[in-house]
Homo-oligomer: A and B are copies of this chain.
């Protein structure tokens, strides 16, 4: 979707704003209309505040109507493609478009239980979660009472909205919706950054299945040219960074045994705060290594 600037929004008439932002809240162009009255917006945060305030200030009936308009997560509509493009993109980012039959059945069962209790579908900002984390959310939130869960669901919508605004509108300020995952390989055998080390980042689900996220190679400073993850939330999930130090040390003549004591070093860690910076360095010799959550 084409980006627009906040300036352009500030100069639009009501109809233009509804055209531009009417679908940021799923099937609820009225939110953009209400927000229109708060123009001009000093920044993206102000626009976000105006839109979410419109929903927070609405009566319970209108809020519930908003919640009801959301599609089931990993539901029949999603399967058949009958959801908005934004929803489609978001559900696919968490892998919900390629569930096993078993997972699909689990989601179906939880959706039904949830709707039976709360009267609206389960809503979660899927871009902040891996599949396991969504299922854990589902189970935890099923124990909420109705007003508590209505607030929780609206908050999830606000997170979805923040991410949509972040992608759609450019402004002088940015919403705090991005995390960052970085690494750094230090060779303390030679006292230098380790350059040319092959790195893989995979996501691991609770069943032990892995999904490759990216491959990279360290540069002269022992870092990757770009963060491993940036400009998006880091989904709450378990990850493994794999560092091919065996090849690196062999190239530098530092290994003297065959097979080398350390070859591919896996570092497994979980992300709990999608908007935080996770720095996961590797300090390594052919015979030792350490890692930590850095900054």
Residues of A at the B interface (CB closer than 8 Å) are 133, 186, 188-193, 221-222, 236, 238, 257-266, 268-270, 272-273, 283, 285-295
Contact = CB atoms under 8 A, between A and B. Distances in A.
B269 A261 contact: yes
A236 to B, nearest CB: 7
A76 to B, nearest CB: 30
Nearest to A269: B261
B186 A189 contact: no
A192 B294 CA distance: 7
A261 B295 CA distance: 14
Given A238-B263, A258-B272, A259-B238, A292 B192 contact: no
A260 B271 CA distance: 8
Contacts of A288: 188, 191, 283, 285, 290-293
B294 A186 contact: yes
Contacts of A294: 186
A191 to B, nearest CB: 3
Nearest to A262: B269
A188 B191 CA distance: 13
Question: Taking the full assembly, how many copies of this chain does it contain?
Answer: 4
A221 B295 CA distance: 7
Given A188-B292, A285-B285, 8 more contacts: A186-B294, A188-B287, A191-B288, A222-B295, A238-B259, A261-B270, A263-B270, A283-B288
A258 B133 CA distance: 10
B265 A270 contact: no
A268 B240 CA distance: 13
Contacts of A133: 259
B188 A295 contact: no
A269 B1 CA distance: 48
B293 A261 contact: yes
For the complex of A and B, 7 pairs with smallest distance between CB atoms:
A290-B290, A288-B292, A191-B287, A188-B288, A259-B270, A257-B272, A188-B287
A263 B240 CA distance: 12
Given A265-B268, A268-B263, A272-B257, A286 B191 contact: yes
A225 to B, nearest CB: 15
Contacts of A193: 295
Nearest to A220: B295
